[in-house]
């Protein structure tokens, strides 16, 4: 995955957030509000960019905290900027570079995939919590599930498969997912099994 995938995910989420008139509206699944979700994703993307640049040793000397008076419109701009920073870092990185993440030493493609997952999945959390019809493009959902969840069998509906893989939906003939993680290290390092 690349910076262009991140930009596509951001565009999809920005379209969704533009339809939410109230940033203080609840997002029950995450026990926060819409602005809080945007802050969480912004923080993740910012950390991912730093983690890739920092290399294989974890760096966490500070916290990213939102101002209490930050409105959703301002947070959307910050989210867009954080997406672009991560996209540029991913695109400029050597494919062999690695960065620390609690689920493995991710390569640039892994960080792009994680960024897309944060945007898309938390976008769904907002849409679901606010009763809005929303889904990313099938191609973007497929790229994300293929990169981060290589054990998930191909499905005609890759968005449903991504939601299922993260415990957010059901797929016919498959057991519900109650605990999950993704594979952010290079796919060549995947051992061929689903994590337990």
Q: What is the DSSP string of 38-87?
A: HHHHHHHHHHHHHHHHH-SS---SS-----TT--HHHHHHHHHHHHHHHH
Angle formed by the axes of helices 138-148 and 3-17, nearest 10°: 120
Return per-residue pLDDT of the chain as tens, 196 residues.
999 999 999 999 999 999 999 999 999 999 999 999 999 999 999 999 999 999 999 998 888 999 989 999 999 999 999 999 999 999 999 999 999 999 999 999 999 999 999 999 999 999 999 999 999 999 999 999 999 999 999 999 999 999 999 999 999 999 999 999 999 999 999 999 998 7
Domain assignment present for residue 10? The answer is yes
Query: Tens digit of pLDDT for each residue in 47-81?
Result: 999 999 999 999 988 889 999 899 999 999 999 99
Domain assignment present for residue 195? The answer is no
Domain hosting residue 73, numbered range: 3-189
How far, in Å, are 27, 28, 194 from residue 63 at the CA level?
23, 24, 32
Q: Where are the beta strands (DSSP E) in the chain?
A: 26-27, 32-33
Residue 3 phi, psi (nearest 5): -60, -30
Tokens, residue 188: 């060549």
Domain assignment present for residue 158? The answer is yes
pLDDT confidence of residue 196: 77
Domain assignment present for residue 131? The answer is yes
Domain assignment present for residue 76? The answer is yes
| Domain count of the fold of the chain | 1
Domain assignment present for residue 182? The answer is yes
Domain assignment present for residue 196? The answer is no
Residue with tokens 């026990």: 31
CATH number at residue 57: 1.20.120
Say what the pTM is. Answer: 0.97
Domain assignment present for residue 160? The answer is yes
């Amino acid at each position: 995955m690349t910076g262009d995938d991140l930009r596509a995910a951001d565009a999809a989420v920005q379209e969704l957030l533009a339809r939410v008139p109230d940033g203080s509206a609840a997002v029950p699944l995450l026990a926060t509000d819409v602005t809080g979700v945007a802050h969480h994703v912004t923080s993740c993307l910012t950390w991912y960019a730093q983690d890739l640049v920092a290399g294989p040793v974890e760096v966490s000397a500070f916290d990213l905290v939102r101002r209490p008076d930050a409105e959703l419109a301002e947070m959307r701009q910050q989210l867009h900027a954080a997406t672009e920073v991560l996209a540029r870092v991913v695109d400029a990185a050597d494919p062999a570079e690695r960065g620390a993440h609690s689920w493995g030493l991710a390569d640039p493609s892994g960080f792009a995939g994680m960024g897309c997952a944060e945007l898309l999945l938390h976008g769904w959390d907002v849409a679901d919590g606010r009763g809005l019809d929303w889904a990313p493009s099938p191609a973007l959902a497929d790229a994300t599930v293929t990169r981060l969840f290589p054990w998930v069998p191909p499905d005609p509906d890759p968005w449903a498969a991504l939601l299922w893989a993260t415990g957010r939906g059901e797929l016919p003939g498959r057991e519900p997912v109650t605990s999950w993680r993704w594979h952010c290290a290079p796919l060549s390092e995947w051992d061929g099994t689903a994590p337990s």
